[in-house]
Amino acid sequence: MSSVLIAQLAVGALFLMVLAGVPISFSLVLVSFVAMYLITDNLDIALNLLNSAAYSGVREYVFAVIPLFILMGSFMTNSRVAESLFSAINFSLKKVRAGLGIATVGANTVFAAVTGVSIASAAVFSNVAFPQMQRYGYDKKLALGIVAGSSILGMLIPPSLLMILYGILTQVSIGSLFVAGLVPGLLLAAIYSIALVLWSFVRPDMVGLAVRVPNRFVLRAENKRRRLETTSGVALAAPEEVGSIASSVRVHIPGMVTQVIDVPDEDMTFRRSMLGALPVLGLVALVIGGIWGGLFSPTEASAVGAVGALLIALNMGMDREKFVRSFQQAAVGIGGILLLLIAAGFFSRMLAASGLVSQVSGFLGSLQIGPLALVLLFIVILIIMGTILDSSSIILLAVPLMFPSILAFGIDPLWFGIVFIVAVEIGLLTPPFGMVPFAMNAALGSRARVEEIFVGSFPFVLMMLGLLGLLLAFPEIVTWLPNLLR
């Protein structure tokens, strides 16, 4: 049996094991080890390669960026940062049509810069923004879709875990990837926001404008007023909401005492809203600006970000229990990703030793297809993979197979990295196993079914496909800012 055939069977066995529920890291190690043994017919060589992958796979200095950025995101997730961002942006957009939905997109955009993980953003904003949108009459599926779609920004707005993994695997500068992802990320946020404003004109009822459920006390007073008008024949003033205080609204009802109804805090002042958001915005500016300005490397920036996030979180609701939980969550995430990196390194060595990568590149070259057709083919594969695998696993599986062909066709690896990440994130919103809807379902429980989240996410999948089209048609969207800062 040829080594190429062994590698092909190994790749097929890998996907079967993943679909069967075997953890991706164990699947990678097992398949790679067996394939290396069959290729070399020497158990010692296979063991030595596994030992080498485990020893050298994550010991480089650059790998420190992963645990520190994950810890930074854990601190932010276990504090009131998301609520403060949402409140501040919602206050700024309270007079804008569909402002609550746009505030969710905006808050997710900023929150993405301190977490870098889409699933974390989806889980947090499911409990922060979704209840508020429901309260103000937003269509349930649309509200779910806004949260799901905007959570994807977590992987496009730097610092992004996927960008870090892509940079490590391909030797593309992580700092350049951070810079390259900013414009596409902001562009996607703008596309979402413009779409929501247009949506508010086409279907105002879906964003709570045409049909607003009145306060029950006001509704009760209105019914009483109509009965009094009918019996007395005298026109009476309609009840109205006349003011608000910190955590309630005062409703004046003619002929009755003013009643106070508890509602979420709406009496947000400009000073109060900005004070809640400024520390986070300052940390984002420090971390990202420090990388772009050459003040420190991405690894050093991750350390600065982790310390800054800790100080902010301690002043924004993180108690001892949440402090410990942050380290526990970070440890689980770090351990899983580093194990995946070791397994992926072993997998890459097996593919290189088998000659499969060279054969795939040669086969694609023999098809006489252009670079654009190759990228489109890879996009389709990545979207399909995204429906059944998480983002990190897709990068670790697909990059060793795809990247050599990208280089052979002369495609800019920096541009392809951003296209790659967008395609992977689209898969996270699509059925049957898109990770983001399931994360939201876990956070919301019985308040939302997975099917409703998938349906609500569909318009945002179309918008992301539109972004992909723009990136394919105008590569400068990705390359302009990195070229400008060189």
Domain boundaries, the chain: 1-56+335-354, 62-207+268-318+355-485, 216-262
Residue segments in the chain with a per-residue pLDDT below the cut of 50: 211-213, 239-267
> Which pLDDT score is estimated for 242?
38
Asked whether the beta carbons of 250 and 272 are under 8 A apart, the reply is: no
* Token reading at 26: 């164990």
415: which 2 tokens?
Answer: 């541009």
**Could you report the per-residue pLDDT of 421-476, keeping only the tens digit for each?**
999 888 888 877 677 888 788 778 788 888 899 999 999 999 999 999 999 999 99
pLDDT at position 221 is: 64
Angle formed by the axes of helices 413-427 and 476-485, to 10°?
130
Amino acid at 93: L
Q: Is 211 exposed, middle or buried (0-12, 13-18, 19+ CB in 10 A)?
A: exposed
Cβ count within 10 A of residue 120: 24
- pLDDT in the model for residue 261: 35
Q: What string of DSSP letters covers 291-325?
A: HHTTSS-HHHHHHHHHHHHHHHHHTTT--HHHHHH
Q: Is the dihedral of CA 192, 193, 199, 205 positive or negative?
A: positive
Spatial contact of 464 and 118, defined as CB atoms under 8 Å apart: no
Q: Residue 210 has what pLDDT?
A: 58
Which value, in Å, is the radius of gyration of the alpha carbons in the chain? Answer: 26
Check residue 208 and give its pLDDT: 75
Instruction: Give 473's contacts (C-beta < 8 A, 6+ positions apart).
Output: none
What does the pLDDT read at residue 220? 66
Q: What are phi and psi of 348, to 5 degrees?
A: -65, -40
| Encoded amino acid at 407, one letter | L
Give residue 332's pLDDT: 82
Q: Which pTM does this prediction carry?
A: 0.75
Q: Cα-flanking dihedrals φ and ψ of residue 391, to 5°?
A: -60, -45
148-187 burial: b if 16+ Cβ within 10 Å, else e: bbbbbbbbbbbbbbbbbbbbbbbebebbbbbbbbbbbbee
- pLDDT at residue 383, rounded to an integer: 86
Q: How far apart are CA 392 and CA 263, in angstroms?
A: 40
Please name which of 275, 244, 271 lies closest in space to residue 260, comparing C-alpha atoms.
244
